[in-house]
Amino acid sequence: MKASLQAGVTTREVWSWAAFDFANSGYTTVVMTAVFNAYFVGVVAGNAEWATFLWTVVVAASNALGVLVMPFVGGLADRHANKKTWLFAATALAVLGTFGLAFSGPGTIVWSASMVLLSNLGYILGETLNSAFLPELSKPESVGRISGLGWSFGYLGGIATLGCALVIVQFGPKHGFGLDACVSATLAATAVVFMLASTPTFLWLKERAKPSETHAAEGATASLAATFRALLSLREFPDFGLLAVCGFLYQSGVSVVISLSAVYASAVMGFTTEDTILMVFVVNFTAAAGAYLFGKLQDRIGHKAALGLTLLLWLAMAGIAATTQSRALFWAAANLAGLAMGSSQSAGRAMAAVFAPPARTAEFFGYWNTALWLAAIVGPLAYGSVAWATGNNHRLAIGVTALFFVAALVVLGFIRVERGARRAREA
């Protein structure tokens, strides 16, 4: 690994950086994918006809908040060279919001929605700021491998957190605890894992960026103005812009899988909470393998080819999930999703690192993640709208989702990796 790192970067520091991926994966796995989404629809909202749509609205609102805040925070963190300080604040927000979800129950719609808003905002900010350290750690020719390492280690965090959830759900009822108590304990455990696992990041990850004297005393108003000026400069980076559009499109589909897979499994395939947790637990192993193997593969065959391959995997997954009546085939589709999810997220982050000017990494990752979180608004809302309009026809909704991956493949064809990398170096 040492040969893949920038001068002065230690292996321990890379693992400390990857520890944040380990920490926050438990949040998305439990809250957004396996447990709380289905609990919100079935228990908090009482499984009403509008419950699935309401969940997508809550997720969309939390992502919209992140979209509004992230570019400003990313630009501010770059100009003052304090990414790590902002990362700590974001982590605290995510952990406290997740712990707050443990107090959800039947009818607590306002409370639950508020905690999702806070925790997901913290997650969005933290994910973006942590990604911005990648170009400082890895040599340009190895960003795929190091990005894949972070994502694969991250999925192990999802596995660890889901393992706790599976134990709670399996043994809780045997000791007299109902579903509400088990879900509350699962969410509290998720918050604790997030807090403890992120600790190495704050102990050993170094802030290598240096603030300029011009920006050292810059106020919030001036920082906001500078952020808007920087946003206008994106026209000078056409390949980064195309990547952002491509990422928006495929992440719209990925966001559906993240936020609605448990709902789909329950409504269409008849999965119980325990069934869903077990499925997502296994899929996280597939995702970890996909992130690591594709991370190495993309450094060999190229970022664009690797990302295109993952988009084909997403299309195959959507086709199987939309048509199968078999649990075995649905499990196969779920594992295709895991393989594609780990690899597409790793490939996208690596390409963003290649296209980001060295002095503006947090800012550009702010733009990149803004595109992804806009997708997390559009994708679930599109799914929820189709499901609501068709009387909860989830199969048609997942079929419509496949169109996002087709569009992403079209946009990917126009990206020129070497041109984008050259423009970043020149800037």
pLDDT digits (tens, 9 = 90+) for 216-244: 555 556 555 655 665 666 778 889 999 99
Rounded to 5 degrees, what angle do the CA atoms 258, 153, 143 make?
Answer: 95
The model's pLDDT over 13-22, given as tens digits with 9 standing for 90+, comes to 999 999 999 9
Domain 10-209+219-426 class, CATH top level? mainly alpha
The model's pLDDT over 131-181, given as tens digits with 9 standing for 90+, comes to 889 888 988 778 878 887 887 888 888 889 988 988 998 888 888 888 899
By percentage, how much of the chain surpasses pLDDT 70? 94
Please check whether residue 397 is in contact with residue 383, taking contact to mean a CB–CB distance below 8 angstroms: yes
By percentage, how much of the chain surpasses pLDDT 90? 38
Rounded to 5 degrees, what angle do the CA atoms 58, 84, 2 make?
Answer: 115
Whole-number pLDDT of residue 228: 60
The structure's pTM equals 0.75
pLDDT at 294 over 80: no
Q: Please, which pLDDT band fits residue 314 given cuts at 50, 70 and 90?
A: very high
Say which residues have a Cβ less than 8 Å from residue 177's Cβ, sequence separation at least 6: 185
Rounded to 5 degrees, what angle do the CA atoms 202, 207, 211 make?
Answer: 140
Which single residue is written with the structure tokens 């992140």? Answer: 66
Whole-number pLDDT of residue 111: 97
Residue 204 Cα to chain centre, angstroms:
23
Give the distance between the most distant pair of CA atoms in the chain. 64
Span 360-384, mean pLDDT?
83
Whole-number pLDDT of residue 219: 53
The model's pLDDT over 7-42, given as tens digits with 9 standing for 90+, comes to 889 999 999 999 999 999 999 889 988 889 889 988
